[in-house]
Amino acid sequence: MERLKMTTPLVEMDGDEMTRILWQQIKEELLEPYIDLKTEYYDLGLPERERTGDQVTIAAAEANKRYGVAVKCATITPNAQRVEEYGLSQMWKSPNGTIRAILDGTVFRSPIMVKGLYPVVKNWKAPITIARHAFGDVYKAAEYQVPGPGTAELVFTGEDGQVSRQLIHRFDGPGVLQGQFNLEASIRSFAHSCFQFALDTKQDLWFATKDTISKQYDHTFKDVFAEVFAVEYAEQFEKAGIEYFYTLIDDAVARVIRSKGGFIWACKNYDGDVMSDMVSTAFGSLAMMTSVLVSPDGNYEYEAAHGTVTQHYYRHRKGEQVSTNPMATLFAWTGALAKRGELDALPELAAFAKKLEQAAIDTIESGVMTGDLVGLWEGDVPARKVTGLEFLQAIRARL
């Protein structure tokens, strides 16, 4: 068989531990036999980040900006234990944080749905994608433990010397204080990424904040979204037959639970942090959750939502057979290949990516799956537990 050709390289970001093993297996079993794979390879595994003083992460993110589409393996974010385990010279920053800062993107997370694995919420028939604004608010706040009686004020000093001062509270005993901020430019980028992703995937976009209580802060988010939509996207949305819908966060939460799914839910930073854990748990397994970082100028970085599955890796190193689910990592590859196919006008490449996804879904629906899914299985055929590699081989047989 002649292998499919690519024109522009994909930026390939390799990673760590169990997912690094799955990464290689996915390429060998399901990609290289069918595609003349063209990638620009960056090793984001922890040893290489240490060797290059983390320059490899920055170079990979720059390449992502140059070529537009990247696929990333899960990577270790070092903590004190990892510094010892890998003999690190310093506690390198989270690669995802570094890449996100360089691309200025928004993260979209969606579940892969399969017949036989049902969400806890019975009426959810289609995926719900969470778009989390990953900048500012409580994550960059200044905090203070108020020791006793005193006055707290909010003070802003302009470059021109103008001072704005307002009373927060007169404390007559101990308490706590917090100062949050966000940037209009960041909110604007967030809005563009969300509207573009909605157009890309032809899904409605919902956005919600607490603007009735937070009349300046949250209301700014609402206003920026409304303005960006009216000026740049309203017409395109109408043509695509999709909607932008704003509501209060309380109302959104209730509507999401009653919905059929099939839309994008844009969330402020904290709401997205909390709601993405709730939505992904309700959909089933973290191993079935995909993630894509979209920048406002149209760069894409595809990955799995889960980590490097350390516990499985340690058991694998002891020679045990482990059953790690490669679905989300495989879908990172198919997402990236389909996007490359779309951008380079290579319909066969995009079509292959869709067939590969279908073969993977069909494999699970036929009862062949990794251990994490067996306990959740409600299909008609009995579930058969296989290793990650056996699962990939079953997909290949079906493909």
Residues that bind ligand NAP (CB under 6 A): 74-77, 96, 286-287, 303, 306-311, 324-325, 370, 372
- Find where tokens 């002649």 sit: 2
Q: Which is nearer to ligand NAP, 106 or 308 (CB)?
A: 308
Region near Mg ion per CB under 5 A, out of 69-77, 90-98, 164-172, 270-278: 270-278
Please provide the DSSP assignment of 335-349 as one string: HHHHHHHHHTT-HHH
Instruction: Identify the bridge partners of residue 142 per DSSP, sorted by sequence position.
Output: 179
Quick one: what does residue 264 bind among ligand NAP, Mg ion, none, with the CB cut-off 5 to 8 Å set by partner type?
none
Reading the block at residue 168, the tokens are 């927060």
Q: Which is nearer to ligand NAP, 82 or 219 (CB)?
A: 82
Quick one: what does residue 273 bind among Mg ion, ligand NAP, none, with the CB cut-off 5 to 8 Å set by partner type?
Mg ion
Contact 265/206 with Cβ under 8 angstroms?
yes
Region near Mg ion per CB under 5 A, out of 78-86, 175-183, 185-193, 266-274: 266-274
Q: Is 277 in the site for Mg ion (CB under 5 A)?
A: yes
Cβ of residue 223: shortest distance to ligand NAP, in angstroms? 32
- Collapsing DSSP to helix, strand or coil, 378 comes out as coil
Q: Which is nearer to Mg ion, 290 or 370 (CB)?
A: 290
List the one residue out of 65, 201, 186, 200 whose CA is nearest residue 132: 186
Closest-approach residue to Mg ion (CB): 273
Quick one: what does residue 307 bind among Mg ion, ligand NAP, none, with the CB cut-off 5 to 8 Å set by partner type?
ligand NAP
Q: Which residues contact 32 (CB under 8 A, 6 or more apart)?
A: none
Contact 289/306 with Cβ under 8 angstroms?
yes
Cβ of residue 156: shortest distance to Mg ion, in angstroms? 31
Q: Which residues contact 311 (CB under 8 A, 6 or more apart)?
A: none
Give CA–CA dist 15/309, Å, rounded: 12
List the one residue out of 302, 388, 357, 354 whose CA is nearest residue 19: 388
Cβ of residue 272: shortest distance to Mg ion, in angstroms? 9
Pairing of strands 289-294, 300-304: antiparallel
Cβ of residue 360: shortest distance to ligand NAP, in angstroms? 13
Q: Is 273 in the site for Mg ion (CB under 5 A)?
A: yes
Looking only at residues 325 through 344 of this chain, which bind Mg ion when binding is defined by CB under 5 A?
A: none
Q: Calculate the alpha carbon distances from 383 to 30, 39, 120 in Å.
A: 23, 36, 19
Cβ of residue 188: shortest distance to ligand NAP, in angstroms? 26
Cβ of residue 206: shortest distance to Mg ion, in angstroms? 20
Positions touching Mg ion (CB under 5 A) are 273, 277
